[in-house]
Structure 1
């Protein structure tokens, strides 16, 4: 327990909870915690401090000043424990003053122009309209704010009226946003209607939420202005990081961030494989976050770099990929990967053109899930039945994972048997861009951009914040993740990372009973359900399992064990624990 903390016992009838408070605790935080844990309505909650040192007097704790005075009073008396009581409005006749104050808050008019923010000016290169924003509400289940609004009061008299002020809405939303930063104005609007029986304009709730966020996270405009300071601080405290803010006549346009630990980790410990994707931001000015994510040796997410811009288009993707090229190749020790850099993404919205311009020697691969989705959409447009669309999509997705062209052709024949038009659509997709059997590079078995989408979910909370808080939130996430990876690696005593170790041992077990014949120094013929040729010198097998995953397949394992050599020495560097520790 911190030196200045005080144990606070809050009771309500037959229930009580322990809380820790200090001079920095706010009345909103305290009331929210009490309301949530004692199942009391936040809006009608009243707190009283019981001071036994002066004859068991009760002091009403109504604001931050009261709470701070109580804490200082306890410190002066050397008390480490205080007792408070929680009441619901109306349970105690002595609380009339509090009741009246709440009613005045409800009745305060939202038409008072002195309390109204006039709206943001555009900070992006594209302009934003003055109309109320649309947050595109989804059908996701959203936690209600019962703890914020008293469901039992004011339901009948105010129906159809809009009398709750923006200040009042902001006050109620502030503690809620701490635990539910993603709550939508549309949900708050519904709660006011069901709880208060009043209809509040969407715009008023939106601005109320903006005020609450401003109290919590600061002014949105100021957050952009502070980016210049943030860039200098990162360069000063984290040498080797690449961070750049681009402006147009003093207005923010784009931000690129890649920390030194991410650059070095990718160059020296990750596969030469990148996943690109974009996701929407949900702060006041919206925007897009473009990301480049990799896999570490244990198949974990490894964030490399990201960019914040106004929209996902060809210009912004080129700017982002130019930054990626700089951190990978404009270095004193240029990165020369053992295989060509492979970039996996959805090929839409300008990514393909940007990759061709800045990474001409790389190999671009389409995300199979996006390709299958596009395929099914085209089938529906042609009038295919839903059942046939599903079957054909599954066949296409399965074909992508097959290692050999013979297996791939089997699935293509099945698609052609269903409908020739579907087959023609597939062939127009250029299989060398997505099918394992034809892909010219090494994707280590990855054919989707799921890792990039996992990254988007990982930063979900950050996407709701002001831009300065957003970048700091992501920095802290990366820092914590790096430390967790370091701690995890210290406990590993094997040569390979656990997931690579598991795959290799499974292939070794499956390869033990296979019949092996040596045809040359490093060439072998291995008999399983079909005959396969293994080339240990070039680390290939005609089953193409070794070629695609870079883990020795069962045929290769059988050949290596036949020669009584160390199987682990035939695994790629990126799968080793040593490489993981460098990433």
Structure 2
């Protein structure tokens, strides 16, 4: 349900409490956001979350569902975190997806280890399956990944690298050269572009040169994971799809995420029903363009 204004939502909430005999409190209100909580000490909020988790396990055998709570000394446990790995998604990823996993620190906060340990159990042997992680530039995430997935391949999201670079150097030429360096497909091409950066601004060159080359430029990518992605677009796209739901109650949020995943899987299946080529459509189109260009 979508409300036109804060006042309309508050009135609807009050009407609901009168109708069903609930006792709630509005907290942390501002001009556009309202949060309402139950005043009852033994409110079944966490119980409801656990019920939802059990229902997911019952209807999706083989899935991994974990609910994390904070124990309270004089009241019911407080909801803290929720991990869901649906069996269909897990099996589908292992069977047919490219071995690239995007992590967004916005949803992990300080819970890196808890999430990554569970992910490790679901994914299995990351060395055998040749997983590769693509990360933003947040501190703490890379060490956490390496602690759980020792010596696993990882990359930086170049958009985040470019964004941080742009805070210090506003030159359009320099900012464009960051992408030229990242897109370079050979070491000679990469070195030429880095020299161009150095000639314009040595400090900018030093900033780029300090990052591991195999983590942000195609010229130095490992050949083990056969993927050439340099941006964490999958996470950004997912964030955009659930932007409205992120402000809703936890059960509404996770259910909307589940439905979004199911719609995406069904949509992709329909697109590929009559597709006959070996390469995915995006790569096939890219190959055709490069073939045309190489013929001239």
Q: Same fold (TM over 0.5)?
A: yes
The answer to whether residue 56 in structure 2 is matched with residue 237 in structure 1 is: no
Paired with 2:229 and 2:45, the residues of 1 have a C-alpha distance of 38
Paired with 1:468 and 1:277, the residues of 2 have a C-alpha distance of 21
Matched residue of 2:104: which SS?
strand
Paired with 1:378 and 1:472, the residues of 2 have a C-alpha distance of 41
Query: TM-score scaled by structure 2?
Result: 0.80
> Could you tell me whether the CA contact under 8 Å between 1:462 and 1:469 is conserved in 2?
yes
Counterpart selection for 2:202 from 420, 435, 460: 420
Matched residue of 1:360: which SS?
coil
> Could you tell me whether the CA contact under 8 Å between 1:342 and 1:443 is conserved in 2?
no
The answer to whether residue 246 in structure 2 is matched with residue 463 in structure 1 is: yes
The offset of 1:133, in angstroms, is 5.0
Paired with 1:443 and 1:223, the residues of 2 have a C-alpha distance of 44
Paired with 2:140 and 2:82, the residues of 1 have a C-alpha distance of 18
Structure 1, unaligned stretches of length 5 or more? Answer: 1-27, 37-104, 106-114, 121-131, 136-183, 186-205, 215-220, 280-288, 291-311, 380-385, 514-583
The offset of 1:253, in angstroms, is 2.1
Paired with 1:507 and 1:423, the residues of 2 have a C-alpha distance of 30
Aligned partner of 1:406 in structure 2 is 188
Matched residue of 1:486: which SS?
helix
Deviation sequence 1:401-430 (CA, Å, 0-9, x none): 101111111111111111222222221123
> Could you tell me whether the CA contact under 8 Å between 2:105 and 2:136 is conserved in 1?
no
Counterpart selection for 1:259 from 72, 76, 86: 86
**For residues 422-441 of structure 1, what are the structure 2 equivalents within 5 Å?**
422-441=204-223
Which is richer in helix? 2
Query: TM-score scaled by structure 1?
Result: 0.43
> Could you tell me whether the CA contact under 8 Å between 2:245 and 2:253 is conserved in 1?
yes
Paired with 2:162 and 2:58, the residues of 1 have a C-alpha distance of 46
Matched residue of 2:191: which SS?
helix
Matched residue of 1:493: which SS?
coil
Paired with 1:497 and 1:224, the residues of 2 have a C-alpha distance of 43
Aligned partner of 1:225 in structure 2 is 47
Paired with 2:95 and 2:206, the residues of 1 have a C-alpha distance of 42
> Could you tell me whether the CA contact under 8 Å between 1:223 and 1:468 is conserved in 2?
no
Counterpart selection for 2:263 from 480, 502, 518: 480
Paired with 2:289 and 2:80, the residues of 1 have a C-alpha distance of 51
Aligned partner of 1:268 in structure 2 is 95
For the aligned residues, what is the CA RMSD?
3.1
Which is richer in strand? 1
Figure out how many residues of one structure are paired with residues of the other and give that number: 271
Paired with 1:489 and 1:372, the residues of 2 have a C-alpha distance of 35
